[in-house]
Structure 1
Amino acid sequence: MQGIHKKYLLKQAINGIDLQVQKGRIVGLLGPNGSGKSTLLKMMAGLIYPTSGTIAVNGRVPDVRNKHHVAYLPELDHLYGWMTVKETLRFVSSFHQDWQPEKAAAMLQALELDENQKVRNLSKGLRARLKLVLVLSRQVPLILLDEPFSGIDPSSRAKIIRSIISEFQAEEQTIILSTHSINESEPMFDDVIFLQQGRIRLFDTAESLREEYGCSLENLWEKVYG
């Protein structure tokens, strides 16, 4: 992406971002609330468009016509409570030719999800696990995860992190993950982006940032944002 700006009425959400992410990396997208993380992910997913600048995913401008290039997990819950887990998977899979039913079935078992249970009866942690299954069961080059650990219990966070690592196809995929749970997710990051007020404050490999600043990414957060 080059020269990306995004303005909502009087608010400048993204203020001049140039970014190129390498294939086969897990990238942490970090920053306080209002720094532009969700806006950036939505533009990569083709759900909203930049006010100016260009974005390309696998050489294509992201939009609904190119949805087979991107799998996006939003922070807000988008599941239908009256469906069972099995019905939810069947419903979502009907929209995507890249759906992998064997992977979905394996992830249901690994994440301890009962396919016959109604979504409305799932705890917040189990709903978060189900949302992850819906994203990671697709064969796409770019996976976008917006706060997948938000407000869930430590057990669910640990299971989700293990699933992300185990299902990640390093030779074919890139994952960009926005989170405030830095301590637990830090070990899986190859690269890290620190956003501040719609701009990139820092962008480097996780290892280089730890070496340069002599601290963990969690402590670096404190140094960057005070």
Structure 2
Amino acid sequence: MESVLQLADVSKSYSGKLALKQVSLTIKPGKIIGLLGSNGSGKSTLMKIATGLIQPASGTVKVGGVPVGIETRAVTSFMPDQPLSEPWMRVEDAIDFYRDFYADFDSAKADEMLAFMKLGKKDRVSSLSKGMSERLQLTLTLSRNAKLYLLDEPIGGVDPVARAKILDAIVNYYSEESSLMVSTHLVRDIERIFDEVVFLKEGEIVLHDEVENIRLAHGKSVDEMFKEVFGE
């Protein structure tokens, strides 16, 4: 089975400070992966490299066996930690913008997700709460029929009710032929959706394992393991 995402010996520095240090990682289809680490651990850098927004200093990155570039951007859907929509837009404008921009945008899926998220097409983006704005960003990201979904801190600063809704949407609407990676430091709230977790500490992978193995081998939840590794 071909990997969806493959990083080999990837390093990246900013102003002389190493953000990623020889990271190697292989992600298979049909998995929801937690990319877990404290702030500044390199999570966003890894995601931006995987999506082609920034280039690594060294190493190789492939999506579906193809080196990251224009071709892989067409099959990679990225939700950054900043909104994808503009404040002047209504929800329907944001949907139209994505439909025009991405050939793989699935309008029926978008309509279904808007209903699930309780978002109205006439709602103004500028009037949405933090939680509703996150729901919109997730709808835009998951409405594409991509191979690789990358969600950077999708529940940061969101209240528990919206958080549960967002997690349910991730599970319900991602395609099982694809892979979905979620970066977060809010491990306890989100670990229920993960098949695998990757612990990133100071730019290095210190653990990559299936959630079931962590529970069986260590007798711990992912959150307990996270606190042990990161001292939180």
TM-score computed with the length of structure 2 as normaliser: 0.95
Is the CA contact 2:39–2:185 (under 8 Å) kept in the aligned structure 1? Answer: no
Is the CA contact 1:145–1:176 (under 8 Å) kept in the aligned structure 2? Answer: yes
1:13-54 CA distances to partner (integer Å, 9 max, x unpaired)? 000111111111000000011110000000000000100000
Letter of the 2:138 partner, please give it. Answer: L
The equivalent residue for 1:70 is 76
Name the Cα RMSD after superposition.
Answer: 0.9
The equivalent residue for 1:89 is 95
1:125-165 CA distances to partner (integer Å, 9 max, x unpaired)? 00000000001000011000000000011111111110111
Structure 2 counterpart of 1:163, from 140, 159, 169? 169
The equivalent residue for 2:4 is none
Which has a greater percent of strand?
A: 2
CA distance in 1, matches of 2:97, 2:139: 13
CA distance in 1, matches of 2:121, 2:55: 36
CA distance in 1, matches of 2:59, 2:135: 35
Structure-to-structure mapping, 1:202-217, within 5 angstroms: 202-217=207-222
1:63 Cα deviation (Å)?
A: 2.4
User: Do structure 1's residue 45 and structure 2's residue 28 form an aligned pair?
Assistant: no
The equivalent residue for 2:41 is 35
Is the CA contact 1:70–1:142 (under 8 Å) kept in the aligned structure 2? Answer: yes
User: Do structure 1's residue 132 and structure 2's residue 138 form an aligned pair?
Assistant: yes
TM-score computed with the length of structure 1 as normaliser: 0.97
Letter of the 1:26 partner, please give it. Answer: I
CA distance in 1, matches of 2:203, 2:215: 23
Structure-to-structure mapping, 1:54-203, within 5 angstroms: 54-170=60-176, 172-203=177-208
Letter of the 1:190 partner, please give it. Answer: D
1:65 Cα deviation (Å)?
A: 4.2
Structure 1 stretches of 5 or more lacking a match?
none
Letter of the 2:39 partner, please give it. Answer: N
Size of the alignment, in residue pairs?
A: 225
Structure 2 stretches of 5 or more lacking a match?
1-6
Most deviating of 105-114 and 72-81: 72-81
CA distance in 1, matches of 2:117, 2:163: 11
CA distance in 2, matches of 1:212, 1:35: 25
Most deviating of 205-214 and 38-47: 205-214
Runs of 4+ in 1 over 4 A off after TM superposition: none
